[in-house]
Amino acid sequence: MFNRQIIQRRFLRSGLFFLVMIWFLGIVSPCFNSNIINSLYPFQKQLYSTVCHQHIHKSFTCDDIPLLVCARCTGIYAGTLLSALVLIFYSGQFNFKTKYLIMLSAPMLLDVILQIFGLYSYNKYLSSFTGFLFGSSVFLYILSAIENLLFSKQKNKNEL
């Protein structure tokens, strides 16, 4: 039964990685020089506008074309992607506690608050880094909750 859970866990993690990778490739698609991708840019921009404000001065660019989300959101999705990739190779169960989520989310919250009050000006790289911490921690927290829910029910069924 233990091997079955490892396979199921890897399948879940691989599926989530694949979905996150597709989403992230959409974000960085302006970096790929292709007529098909360039023709999809307006549609993609509209799609990603549902998750980000897309201010050009707050976005990374590739060949003078802004990515489809701001630097902070790029960091969030990059953190999610890296966490998903790393967890494909880790087969064990883990519990990502709320205190770690709060600790890793605090830098982004502090960054936003300091910018709102004008204590320092916007920095794409800092925003991307704090977004990266936030994205990886939120992914780990949500995945931990999903796996604990799925696999604790299986364990309880098998004990009956």
Q: Over its length of 160 residues, how does the chain's per-residue pLDDT go in tens digits?
A: 458 888 899 999 999 999 999 999 999 998 887 787 778 888 999 999 999 999 999 999 998 889 999 999 999 999 999 999 999 998 788 889 999 999 999 999 999 999 999 998 999 999 999 999 999 999 999 999 999 998 876 555 555 4
Residue with tokens 């790289």: 125
Quote the CA–CA distance of 76 and 82 in Å, as a whole number.
Answer: 10
pLDDT score, position 41: 86
Closest-CA residue to 51 (of 78, 17, 22, 74): 74
The H or E element spanning position 61 is strand 61-62
* Per-residue pLDDT at 75: 98
Q: At what angle do helices 2-27 and 35-48 cross, to 10 degrees?
A: 100
Query: What is the domain extent for residue 28?
Result: 2-159
- CB-facing half-sphere around the CA of 106: CA atoms within 13 A: 7
- The alpha carbon of 57 is separated from its chain's Cα centroid by a whole number of angstroms, namely 22
Q: What are phi and psi of 24, to 5 degrees?
A: -70, -40
Strand partners, 61: 66
pLDDT of residue 160: 47
Q: Number of folded domains in the chain?
A: 1
